[in-house]
Amino acid sequence: MKYIELFAGCGGLSIGMKSSGFKLVLANEVSAMAAETFAYNLLNENLNSKDISHCFWLKSRFKKHDPRRLREDYRISSQLPKSEVFSDIPKPTNFNDLKGGMLIGDIRDLNGFVARSNKLRKEISNSFGDGQVDLVSGGPPCQSFSMAGLRNRDSDKNQLPWAFADFCSKIKPKMVLLENVTGILRAFKSEGKLYYAWFEVAKAFSLKKCGYVPVCLHINAKFVGAAQNRPRFIMLCFEVSLVKKIMSSGRLGEIGRKVFSRSLDFLAEVQGKGNCEYDSNFYYDLNKGHPIFDEFPFNILKESPFGNEAATVHDAIDDIKVAGLVGRKSHYVKVVNKLSKTLDTLSSHKGGVPPNHELRSNSLRVKARFRLYQIINEMDDKSVIKELKLFIKDPLVADISDLVFDSIKKYSFIDSGGEPCFFSSKEELESFLVLIKTKKQTQRALKSYLPAPAALSIPDDACHYDDKQLRTLTVREMARFQSFPDKFEFRSKVTTGGKMRQFEVPQYTQVGNAVPPILAEALGRVCRELLALGK
């Protein structure tokens, strides 16, 4: 089965799609930094070389093979007039060269190319001669929908799901898979009214221009095996003819038929009125055990290879916690490493210390704070934990209470010289907490016996759980939580800062933005099963 991936990022979704039996027709990604990783692992191509045959820039201020392309601000090149940019899009006689490759640039520019060339539209829609595209998949950037973001309805990035719908209206795949953060389910306030982004996106795919039947799901990657608590919004959209074949197949069961019937009614209402009243019950929540997931084929989305127990932080990274050494791999690591069979990569990794596992150095002051986070994880009294966290952020707000000191004095801390120490008085403890204060509100130590938390995208979001590893996490450790196989090698710079955060996508961000491959593989199998029912 054939798929196109939009907002491809570093390739997490494509690993799963390929593993579940899909063949890539075309990929699109706006960031050359993320595309560099995608190409290296899934197209067997190094964008730092001059021998590039699978990747094409839609627009760039620089000529082909100019290394500055890999670091340019795509926002600038996308807005420049045609006379001031270079494009790698081949002539109509050579459109077939795009097959199985990557287009680097803004999806809105891609939509413009497709709108201006009916031949290009037909070639992509027909998989460059292989027949109708089965699936278009992708995860539009989510920063403005995320609860950790600015929650700005009018953010430029909030318009990208509509650009996704515009592309699908032109290419007409049989199915669409859209992935996003669950923050998209929570309302924005705009001009005194509530605005539900996910519902508006569902309507956009249902308008006559697109004509798809949407089914909206709320799922968590940990239920299919990822070692991370990572809830996601998933929207599956279907051609009307495909839905009717699925419903008549006899494979769905009563609840499944009701779900699709309701979605058909939604389509009719949107197309009939051009609008539809908000319905909070239109998405189906695996996290609450919704019965749709007991029906074929949605039960795939809660079939973890590890049974009823979620994979943990310990399962994911304990074998690589000591610099330069590799311990015994857990069942989890062995399972996710099997996903490397679908890679077409330049990586030479065959065992030993995996790539992207360079330990980051931290100051003694930061290490002392990390040790406190580890101690907090060992404590049970929530009131004590709350008081400690408040004091770390603002040590001048109040004195440490006797309850807190009595609860914490038995633990071994790290002093300014990096040596273990205990505190014999509240005054000593307070002086220590003033020394290690921080404005960071999300920092924490990992809990080895739980899946990793959802909010992990920058190096100092969390520190290690081992008291001999007072450090932040490596790119590889982050990737392990997400279920990336060790042979998958992240490219480009490791991290960034300042204004460059607005357009650069370094390795840590690539991991944080990605769809967990093990979730993508499960979603791919669901899509295959549903498409097969329409044959």
Question: Are 373 and 303 part of one and the same domain?
Answer: no
- Answer yes or no: is 336 within a domain: no
If one counts the domains in the chain, the total is: 2
- Answer yes or no: is 124 within a domain: yes
pLDDT, one tens digit per residue, over 83-117 is 999 999 999 999 999 999 999 999 999 999 999 99
Helix (H/G/I), strand (E/B), else coil: 246: helix
Question: Are 304 and 414 part of one and the same domain?
Answer: no
- Out of 421, 444, 467, pick the residue that ends a domain: 444
Question: Are 387 and 298 part of one and the same domain?
Answer: no
Under the banding of pLDDT at 50, 70 and 90, the label for residue 158 is low
**Structure confidence at residue 148 (pLDDT):** 40
Distance of alpha carbon 22 from alpha carbon 109, whole angstroms: 26
**Structure confidence at residue 440 (pLDDT):** 75
DSSP state at residue 435: H
- Out of 444, 459, 490, pick the residue that ends a domain: 444
- Answer yes or no: is 172 within a domain: yes
**Structure confidence at residue 147 (pLDDT):** 38
pLDDT, one tens digit per residue, over 374-425 is 999 999 888 888 888 888 777 776 678 888 899 999 999 998 788 999 999 9
Distance of alpha carbon 103 from alpha carbon 97, whole angstroms: 11
Nearest by Cα to 445 from 420, 421, 423, 471: 471
- Answer yes or no: is 385 within a domain: yes
Find out whether 355 and 490 touch, Cβ atoms under 8 Å. yes
Under the banding of pLDDT at 50, 70 and 90, the label for residue 142 is low
Under the banding of pLDDT at 50, 70 and 90, the label for residue 308 is confident
Question: Are 285 and 420 part of one and the same domain?
Answer: no
Q: Count CA within 13 A, CB hemisphere, residue 374.
A: 21
Question: Are 16 and 136 part of one and the same domain?
Answer: yes
Question: Are 299 and 439 part of one and the same domain?
Answer: no
**Structure confidence at residue 195 (pLDDT):** 82
| CATH code of the domain containing 237 | 3.40.50.150
State yes or no: pLDDT of 496 exceeds 60. Answer: yes
Question: Are 302 and 374 part of one and the same domain?
Answer: no
CB atoms within 10 A of CB 483: 32
Question: Are 152 and 281 part of one and the same domain?
Answer: yes
- Answer yes or no: is 493 within a domain: no
pLDDT, one tens digit per residue, over 468-482 is 999 999 999 999 999
Find the domain containing 434 and state its range: 364-444
**Structure confidence at residue 274 (pLDDT):** 66
* Stretch 458-474: mean pLDDT: 89
Distance of alpha carbon 476 from alpha carbon 319, whole angstroms: 12
Question: Are 169 and 72 part of one and the same domain?
Answer: yes
- Out of 444, 466, 501, pick the residue that ends a domain: 444
Distance of alpha carbon 486 from alpha carbon 381, whole angstroms: 38
- Answer yes or no: is 290 within a domain: yes
Question: Are 112 and 244 part of one and the same domain?
Answer: yes
Question: Are 404 and 527 part of one and the same domain?
Answer: no
**Structure confidence at residue 47 (pLDDT):** 96
- Answer yes or no: is 439 within a domain: yes
- Answer yes or no: is 108 within a domain: yes
* Stretch 186-212: mean pLDDT: 87
pLDDT, one tens digit per residue, over 508-526 is 999 999 999 999 999 999 9
pLDDT, one tens digit per residue, over 29-86 is 999 999 999 999 999 999 999 889 999 999 999 999 999 999 999 999 989 999 999 9
Does the CA dihedral 288-444-312-486 come out positive or negative? Answer: positive
Instruction: Return the C-alpha torsion angle 268, 271, 272, 277, nearest 10.
Output: 80
State yes or no: pLDDT of 340 exceeds 80. Answer: yes
DSSP state at residue 443: -
Question: Are 399 and 269 part of one and the same domain?
Answer: no
In this predicted structure, which of 92-101, 117-126, 436-445 has the lowest mean pLDDT? 436-445
pTM of the complete model: 0.93
State yes or no: pLDDT of 528 exceeds 50. Answer: yes
**Structure confidence at residue 457 (pLDDT):** 66
